[in-house]
Structure 1
Amino acid sequence: MKPTWRKPAGMGLILLLILFWAGLVGSQAQRIASLPWPLQAIVYCIAGVVWIAPLKPLLFWMEHGRWR
């Protein structure tokens, strides 16, 4: 089986997605810190899960070469 360029490119995109999402959430840290602690917990739990949503199509593309 011949290796493809999609896997290294996909890994790079995953790392960029993580960096982008961490920067976005980190830039809102002061605003989130002003919320009561139960809301902070909810915001950080949601932010910790939402970044995973784009991974399914990206991983599918890495494996099959198409988005659907």
Structure 2
Amino acid sequence: MRTEPTLRISLGILGMLLGVAAYALVIARYVPDLIAGWHTLLQTMVYIVLGIVWILPLKRFLAWMETGRWR
């Protein structure tokens, strides 16, 4: 087991934070205009799905941060 962090982990965390911030800004900017006239329950479902979608690519990204390989 590694005792010291690598540069890859530090860059990975920074990249992950920037990616999530960019995703949140895009969602906050464009989605409300698209779904403003929808029923409240449908809007809630859209935001729940969008709140889960950003998690999907994290498995491979975290594996890369730990091992240096994408698989």
TM-score, normalised to structure 2, is 0.85
For residues 6-60 of structure 1, give each alpha carbon's deviation from its aligned partner in whole angstroms, at most 9, with x where no partner exists.
1111101111111111012111212222211111011000000000011111100
Work out which structure has the larger RCO, using CA pairs closer than 8 Å and 6 or more positions apart in sequence: 1
Shift of 1:3: 2.9
Q: Which residue is equivalent to 1:43?
A: 46
Which runs of 5 or more residues in structure 1 are unaligned?
A: none
Which runs of 5 or more residues in structure 2 are unaligned?
A: none
TM-score, normalised to structure 1, is 0.88
Identity across the alignment (%): 41
Shift of 1:2: 4.3
Q: Which residue is equivalent to 1:20?
A: 22
CA RMSD of aligned residues (A): 1.2
